[in-house]
Structure 1
Amino acid sequence: MNSQEMSIASLVLHASWVVQLVMLILVAASVACWATILRKVGMLKAIKNKNETFESDFWSGSSLNELYQNAMHNVKACGPMERIFASGMREYQKLRERHITNPDTLLDGTRRAMRASFQREMDEIESGLSLLGTIGSVSPYVGLFGTVWGVMHAFTGFASMEQITLATVAPGIAEALVATAMGLFAAIPAVTAYNRFSSGIDRIASQQETFIEEFSNILQRNLGAQPLHAAH
């Protein structure tokens, strides 16, 4: 391949099999990265909308029992905050059915159920972040490995040449550098998305933890009344 024939496609096709393998891995990583990004964007947007809707309903004056029944009838449509609420209410009602009336026991059991539900929800929300973090941190080094290997392969070929010019050196070096470029192409979106999603997920976690405390306070005030009063 001469210098006039150089293009991204030709550089990839004329690269050594090791460099081509590295490029294939980086392409797969890039595809996985963008698939995860698109999935997380949709997920976080839906979670934000559902949590805001439930929080609005929660503070609208509806009774806790009514909110609980609505959640149980629309489990698949519930957001994380609503499922956390439903877990707490379910545990509270189970304890009441067992004729447990001690306020501390009721509140502790309800809070533990909500914390367990919170952790399950956060595990689901955070899914995919580790993949983005791995791609963002590893891809540049994978690309660098491909570049180093490609340069070594190119210089091995130069040893058999009687005269070395820029025209003979450029294609081999360019082939190797494509691997580095592909590594950065995979890593930059992954790192950017990881940081952005981490910030958004931290806000969701904070909102849900705040809700657990607020609901616990409301429940504590209503422990002596049946049916449970509206949230205020």
Structure 2
Amino acid sequence: MDWLRQSGAQSRQPRFVFDLYAIFICAVSAKRRRAARRRRDAGCDANALLPAVRALREAGVFVVASAGNDGPGCSSVQDPIALYDDVFSVGAVKRNRSIADFSSRGPVLADGSGRIKPDIAAPGVAVYSSMPDGTYAENSGTSMAGPHVVGVVALIWSANPKLIGDIDATKEILRATAQPRAFTADGDTLVCGDPNAIPNDFFGYGIVDAYAAVQRALGK
């Protein structure tokens, strides 16, 4: 990761947004990771990718991660890199703006932090997306939600280039302009943390609002 540190030192305004939401963690398949968690005797160190993420941040890279599709249980945000404080993690919402059943929730227990995750939510159910064979189809998952937030970060930095590489300021814009959502339990739905707090362990600070974020970036 030395090249990342060098690039950050040479230029504090990198011209890109980096998205790690699709990374394979420690080259272990999802099936094997689930089995490892059940056995509690294998799997990846929760902090395995933390040095890489910190190097990216130091280089002025805004890292977004999909929260995961292990809901509806509490503390299901449990794999690197989504659980890190330095990563902006994204949960998935339905078209009616309720949380998707599969969307992973906090609080984070895998590293003992107890931090609230995800940071924000975005559309992730029946999203019309491109397919490998050149066609289009509807897909669901937090991997559909993550790219929405990556796109909003790109819009923020395009609207106000002074914000490029300013990770804290960009996070604050996303948080401040998100449409806050509390969680309403129905039936036997698990309630994680305080569902009425903002942020909470379902939506984070709320649902991403691209227009409001750009307006905030422009100082309006």
What TM-score bracket applies, with the shorter chain setting the length?
under 0.3
Higher strand share: 2
- Structure number with greater Rg is 1
Higher helix share: 1
| TM score, norm. by length of structure 2 | 0.24
